[in-house]
Amino acid sequence: MSIIEQIEKPTLLLDAEKARRNIHRMAEKANKLQVRFRPHFKTHQSAEIGEWFRPEGVTAITVSSVDMAYYFARSGWQDITIAFPVNLRQVGAIRELAAQIHLELLVESAETVSFLQENLAVPVDVWVKIDSGAGRTGLAWNEFEAMSGLARQINKSSKLHLRGILTHAGHTYQAKTPDQVRRLFSQSVGRMLQARYNLQASGVGMVEISVGDTPGCSLSDNFGGVSEIRPGNFVFYDAEQNAVGSCAAKDIAVALACPVVAKHPERGEAVVYGGAIHLSKDWMVEDGRMIHGKIALPQGDGWGEPLGGAYVDRLSQEHGLVHLEKEDLDKLRIGDLICVLPVHACLTVQVMGEYLTLEGKKVRTMNK
């Protein structure tokens, strides 16, 4: 019996061959362009998948939480950046981690720097978080006085070592074309170079630049002046990355297999067992519509290319309402499976907690 035939309920399929190929491609690019490759593990969240990075020479990783840092430290990773502003309430756990591994933290305020100086037992490396255009958090790239003041405060600390400035150009996800991604990424890098120039001109010493976003790192061939890249989503990619041009559909390494439970031809829709608790409610805009995933059909032990005109239109807790062209809907039977290419693979992984490889092996994440 094939893997597809064994599936009874929403199941996150993983094409390990595609994922390994994605890892190799990004590692090869970093090596060619002579930047340090510190991949973000928040996408796959799996100790087993983490091991797929080691043959590519990866020894340092990025995570998004203290809990995730603990999880991967237990799996043998000894050089970890927590790419999220320090949560002061977890200082006890941070102190324990810092005694076990080489730990790097993000800071953007004088309050946090002072707190760490007072509460850490061993020194850690820190990065100053910079907003290079995404508007999420961090010191604005042109707030040079605030930036240099914070850097000087860090340099006076006996518990903190200033590694450099770090950004995530998350606004590349809003681009519509690969050229727009490249322009936004180039602009972000240019702003970081300017910030570094001003920092060093103010006498704080040499600092590195760390950048990370899958669209920019996938599409740009110029990392001039950048010390390290931290992409994460590239390990699987997803429908959003495909839409922006970061990857081809054939590069998407995960799909949520969902049983069809009802058909409504009068609406051009099928209902699947696979809702918000399986996909999350993340969405993207395609052809003026808000969609929650692209649709492919099972093919062998995997899935085929996305169907034209097919998408997840609406989600509730368990239900997914899928729009299909008439020809495809007519062929579909209740009890069949369809495969949803998630809009945002990171969130689907988070809610599902485990994968089923196309070879039939279960792979767990830190959440299962």
Over residues 28-48, the pLDDT tens digits come to: 999 999 999 999 999 999 999
List of residues 6+ apart from 137 with CB closer than 8 A: 85, 108, 129, 131
Contact 120, 143 (CB under 8 A): no
Task: Summarize the confidence of residues 96-120 as an average pLDDT.
Answer: 98
- Cα–Cα distance between 236 and 253 in angstroms, integer? 5
Identify whether the C-beta of residue 188 lies closer than 8 Å to the C-beta of residue 132: yes
Distance CA 42, CA 112 (A): 24
Domains and CATH numbers, the chain: 3-12+248-364 (2.40.37.20), 40-231 (3.20.20.10)
Place 2 in a pLDDT band, splitting at 50, 70 and 90.
confident
Q: What is the pLDDT of residue 84?
A: 98
CA pair distance 211, 268, nearest whole angstrom:
44
pLDDT recorded at residue 368: 86
Average pLDDT value for the chain: 97
d(CA 22, CA 112): 37
> CA 313 to CA 280: how far, in whole Å?
13
Print the SS3 string covering 269-306. EEEEECCHHHHCCCCEEECCEEECEEEECEECCEECCC
User: What's the rounded Cα separation, in Å, for the pair 124 and 97?
Assistant: 10
Q: Mean pLDDT, to the nearest integer, of 288-314?
A: 97
pLDDT in tens, 53-85: 999 999 999 999 999 999 999 999 999 999 999
Our CA angle for 223, 246, 66, nearest 5°, is 75
Residue 289 has a CB neighbour count (10 Å cut-off) of: 11
Report residue 167 as tokens.
């950004």
